[in-house]
Every structure is written in structure tokens, then in C-alpha cells.
Amino acid sequence: MNQFRIWQYLLIFSTILIGIIYAIPNFFPSKPALQIALGGSTANERVIIEVSEVLDRNNINYSEILLQENSVKVVLDNVEDQLASRRLIADYSDGDYIIALNSEPTTPDWLRNIGGNPLNLGLDLAGGIHFLLEVDTQRYSIERISSESASIEDELKRQGLAVTSSAVGSEAYFSFTNSADLEAAKEYLNDNNFTISGNKFNILQNGLDLTLVYTDSFLSEIIDYAVEQNLVALRNRVNELGVSEPIVQREGKGRIVVELPGVQDSASAKKIIGKTANLEFRLEARNSDSFLRKEKFSYKDNPVATAFLEKKTILTGDSVTNAQSSFDENGRPQVNISLDIDGGRAMQNATTGNIGRRLGVVLVEEKTKTFFDVNNEVRQETFIEKNIISNATIQAVLGTSFRITGLGSSTESSELALLLRAGALAAPMKFVEEQTIGPTLGQENIDKGVDSIIIGFCLVFLFMILRYRLFGLSANIALICNLILVTSIMSVFGATLTLPGIAGIVLTVGMAVDANVLIFARISEELKNNIDVQSAIKNGFAKAFSTIMDANITTLIVALILYAIGTGPIKGFAVTLSIGIITSIFTAILVTRSFVNMIYGYRDIRELKV
């Protein structure tokens, strides 16, 4: 007889029961909501009061307004009120608020307490904004080499060598007064000319001059660092804004894709995401320093006042591990900064022996100005603005913790702290592509995707019943269990459902049935060979097992490759396909077998048609 033991039935049906429980949240319709974040500071009770007053004045009904971490969530009754509220609040804030069109789940508390949540919807289903940004790797390389040549010059001078330096493009130039200093410099450079990928530069000599030509491998290494640092910084910035299920990933050598589901305020999102705010810490230049070693800056709060700082940068905002805005003892805004170990060591080395000298803190910002050209067409030009925000006297040797004062307002200190806390951009970027997808289009995609699943499922269901009778009914029950398990697993792991993901689910329906068809075909062949019914059923499942495994494993390998090398939409398809393959193996081999056993396993059947 074909029978499972009691514990096997319990294991199979317990798995299905757990799947049903975690799939249930997807049957509770979510309410439309607005998620409001401030670009320059953390949301507070004042924002709640202002938003509620705006909605009340315009007779907009809302269920609740609540404070969630760094943002305010407004729950509304319908999509029309949601869209109207977004326009009203955007006009009121004049672009200062980041407003995302989100949804508030209505899942019962008991389900939430055990981790039951509905599926997250991707950009193509929920609507939102797609940005493609390009990192200015050329400018970063030039600045990096210029800073490095200044550091090399300082080190050579500390060794008692008379040298001057300059940098142009990917080359650094050093001039010496005698051959002895030149030979000593060559020895030092050869000893310090190695990176992870090999040599940093090639050394060329012309008389008493040395030229360092930086290698392509080193330039590629620092470009990769800049792009990866920007990638981390953008992810942290998006997280600070409280946008749900964002996508931030690298594309090609120097481009980054940012997708913000639910966000419709493109201008406000670009204000934070695309802003380059960094810090440079430099010692104030001495009067005896040559003109090539110092740079003139204006003060941010007083552009008329200027100061000369060394060209050499001690460290930048990349070394900042934490930044919090606060007030000093006189009530003036400040930012408390913590550095990583390398940054703290660099700060300690720079301030040791320089007590009484000034330390300048330069705020580096990328700005855009709009103007009309000779053809009276609107043009935009991006430029870098560097201003001193602090130039205080060093009172003691500094380490990993200190504070920046001299900021103009609490809003300025909060925004600077947010950007530094989220991570400074190592290199400037520009927006090369921007798309805004409306929520109406997203709903249309959802409706069509659900319709495709229902139609495909019904056609398969009908065919299996007509062709395989009770066996077909068992396969259909297993198919339902498969869809439940796919949905529950994606919900538990917080996967994001996209339109290609829905295509993966539809494909899974076909693959799940295909496995059952193989099994039933094997059983039919066994019966034709005059084998008794129970043995035919047993042999059918056993002999089809290896074929099913081979077919599904090869497809799973392809899905994993798609996930590894693909971008957002392809990854979404690969995720649902991979989960569907695993669940279809379980349902075809075990769930279908359990129902077939319950129908035929306890009966003495002499004849059976499949």
C-alpha cells in the first residue's frame, strides 16, 4: 500500500498551514498613506500639527497621523484624498518635505506580532521615481592626485629634502635643487609605490625633475572606491529619508541607479540624494609657505572675509562615522563629529606640534545655477563651492571626537549632520536620467498581473481535471499550496514584488503542473506494463523524481545567474522564479503524493486509468 506515516502527513500539512498563516496578510487591503520626511532635520510633533491643520482647512479626511522614526505618516481613506493631500502638503512646504505615496497595512495585530506582513510592491507596481546618476570620476581622480602629490611633498620635506611640487591630470611633478635630494626622493618613492593592484605610478626623470605618471590600475582602483563610497552614502541617505523598499545599485563603471517606490516629489528627493556635502580639514597656511602650497577661501557666513589654508587635506568627511547636531553652551548650533580609527590617527598627527595654529573646516557643496544662453534657452551649470565654516585655534591635540562650530542656523547644522551621518559622497555626481511613474499606472500593472495569474491558474486547473480526473484534482490542490507557499515565503523575507516578479509566478504555475504531468505519465506507463496499481503509483513517483530534480535544478541555476548579474526588474523575476522552483518540487513530490496516497493508498484497486 502507498501510505505515509503520521509524522510525514503532519510535517507536510504543518508546512502548508504555516504558509497559509503568513500568506493571509496579503488578503487585507492596505490603506493609502503619505510618508513625510524633512530634508534638513528630523520630523517632530510640529510637523504633525502643521500637516493636520493643512488637511483640516481643506476638508480632507484622514484616519490618523503618527510619528514614525524620522518621518510622519498620514493614513487616509482613499486614493483621491491621498493624491489631493500630497499636492496640498507639497504646496504648503514649498519643497522642504519629502512626500512619499505609501500604504498602511491593515493586517491584524496577532499576525504582525508573529512577523506576518503583506508583500512589498516595487516601483513598477507602487509608482515612484527612477534616477540614474553618473559619478564624475575624472574630477575625483584629479583632486585625489593633487592631494596625494601635496602629501608626498610634505613627507619629502620632513626628510630634509628641498622640493616643490604640482599636479596636472594624472601626473605629479617634483623639482629638486640638487642630485642628492633627487636620488633620496627616488628611493623614498620606490619604497612607497605599491597598491593592492600593483605599482601606483611610473617614475620619469628629466634633469633635477621627477614626473610621477599614475598607472591605469591605480586610477581604476580609486575610481572604484569613489563609486562604492557614493553607493554606500546614497543608500544611507535614502534610509535616513524613511523611503520604504528603495533600490540603490551600481550600473556599469561609474553610474548608480536609485529607485524610490511611492515617492512622487522629484525635486525634493533630488535635493537630498544628489547633494554633495563634504568636509575638508586643512591647517591654516603659514606666511612663509609658497603660493603653490596654499589656497584662498571665503567664510560661509561672511563671504567678504577670507583666509589662506594649506592645499593638503588632512582628512575629509569620508572618515566621519557619526555626526549629531546640537547647541554649545551659548546656544549656538554645532555638529559633534566622531571619526574612524584612520581619521582619528590622521587628525592626531596633524594637530600634534601645531597647538596654537588654526584648523580650517571647509564645507564642500555642489550647486547648480540656471541661466539663459545666447539663444535664450534655459541652461544649467554645475559648480563646486568651497567655504570655511570654522577656522578655530587648536587648543589641544585632537583625536576621534570633536565638534564643528560657526554654523549659521540649527537647520544648517541638522542638514550637515544628516548628510555626514549618512556618508559623504566621495565624488560629485550628476543626474543623467529621471522618470516619475504614477500610482495609477502601478495599479493597472497590478490588476493585469493578478488577472494573468487567475486566468492561467483557471485554465490549468480545468485541463488537469478533464485530463487526469482525481489525479488532476490532487495536482490542482498542490498547485494552490504552491502559490500559497511562494506568497508566504516572499512575505516573510520581505521580498519586493515587481511586474517581472508576477511573470515569474505565472511561469511557476506552469512548471509546478509540468512536474505532476511527468509523474502521471510515468504512472500511466507502469500501468500499461501490467504492473499492479499500488506498485505503478509508487514507481511513477520514484522514477519521475530524478527527471523533475534535473529539470528544476538546471532552471534554478539559470535563475541564480540572473539574480547575480541582473538589475532590479531581472532580479525580481529571478527571486520569484527561484522560490517557485523550490516550492514546486516540494508540492509536486510530497503534497501531490500525500493526496494521492489518501485517495488510493488505503484501497485495493484492481484497475486504474490515468
Note the pLDDT tens digit of each residue in 417-441. Answer: 765 665 567 777 888 887 776 655 5
> Which has the higher per-residue pLDDT, 308 or 435?
308
For the cut 60, the answer to whether the pLDDT of residue 555 exceeds it is yes
Indicate if the pLDDT at residue 47 is higher than 50. yes
**Alpha carbons 268 and 263: distance in angstroms, whole number:** 10
The rounded distance, in Å, linking the Cα atoms of 105 and 127 is 17
- For 245-340, where are the alpha helices, taking DSSP H only? 266-273
Give the fold, CATH level 3, of 275-424.
Gyrase A; domain 2 (3.30.1360)
Output the average pLDDT for the chain: 80
Which range is least confidently modeled, 35-39, 117-121, 438-442, 541-545? Answer: 438-442
Strands 97-104 and 71-76: unpaired
Stated pTM of the model? 0.60
Q: How confident is the model at residue 488 (pLDDT cuts 50, 70, 90)?
A: very high
| CATH 3.30.1340, applies to 137-218 | no
Give the mean model confidence (pLDDT) for residues 350-354.
Answer: 86
Q: What is the DSSP letter of 63?
A: E
The number of C-alpha atoms within 13 Å of 459 and in the hemisphere containing its C-beta is: 9
CATH 1.20.1640.10 in the chain is located at 6-25+438-600
How many angstroms separate the CA atoms of 223 and 136, rounded?
9
The topology under which CATH files domain 6-25+438-600 is Multidrug efflux transporter AcrB transmembrane fold (1.20.1640)
Task: Give the neighbor-by-neighbor strand order of the sheet with 320-327.
Answer: 320-327, 333-339, 401-404
Residue 463, all three cell numbers = 485541463
Confidence tier at 155 by pLDDT (50, 70, 90): confident
| Angular region, 202: left φ>0, alpha ψ -120 to 50, beta rest | beta
CATH class of residue range 31-104:
alpha beta
Q: Please give the Cα distance from 185 to 193 (Å, whole number).
A: 12
Angle between helices 568-586 and 533-565 (to 10 degrees): 160
Q: Report which of 34, 79, 138, 119 is spatially closest to residue 490, judged by C-alpha positions.
A: 119
d(CA 120, CA 386): 41
What residues form DSSP beta bridges with 258?
131, 248
Q: What is the pLDDT of residues 329-346, one digit of tens each?
A: 777 888 888 887 778 888
Residue 265 has pLDDT above 70, yes or no: no
- Identify the weakest region by mean pLDDT among 72-86, 88-102, 351-365: 88-102
- Say whether pLDDT at 210 is over 70: yes
pLDDT interval class at 406 (50, 70, 90) = low
For the chain, give every residue range classified as CATH 3.30.1360.200. Answer: 275-424
In the prediction, which pLDDT does 325 show? 77
Residue extent(s) of CATH 3.30.70.260 domains in the chain: 31-104
For 511-536, what is the mean pLDDT?
85
Least confident piece of the model among 57-71, 115-129, 152-166: 115-129
Q: Which residues pair with 322 in a beta bridge?
A: 338
Q: What's the pLDDT at 419? A: 59
- What does the pLDDT read at residue 148? 81
> Is pLDDT larger for residue 484 or for residue 510?
484
If one counts every other C-beta atom within 10 angstroms of the C-beta of residue 364, the result is 19
pLDDT of residue 377: 62
Of residues 559 and 402, which shows the higher confidence score? 559
Which one, of 268, 218, 258, lies nearest residue 92 by Cα?
268
Say which residues have a Cβ less than 8 Å from residue 555's Cβ, sequence separation at least 6. 511, 577, 581
Percentage helix, strand, coil for the chain under 3-state DSSP, each rounded to 5: 50, 25, 25
Phi (first) and psi of residue 401, to 5 degrees: -135, 135
Of 194-208, 253-267, 382-396, 542-556, the poorest mean pLDDT is in 253-267
Instruction: Give start-end residues of each CATH 3.90.1070 domain in the chain.
Output: 137-218
Confidence grade of residue 40 (pLDDT, cut at 50, 70, 90): very low
Average pLDDT of 557-575? 81
Share of the chain above pLDDT 90, in %: 5
Mean pLDDT value of segment 115-119: 84
Q: What is the pLDDT of residues 357-398, one digit of tens each?
A: 888 888 887 665 655 566 666 565 667 788 887 787 888 888
Q: Identify the pLDDT of residue 533.
A: 82
% the chain with pLDDT above 70: 85
CA dist 16 and 347 (Å) reads 59
Contact yes or no for 301/325 (Cβ under 8 A): no
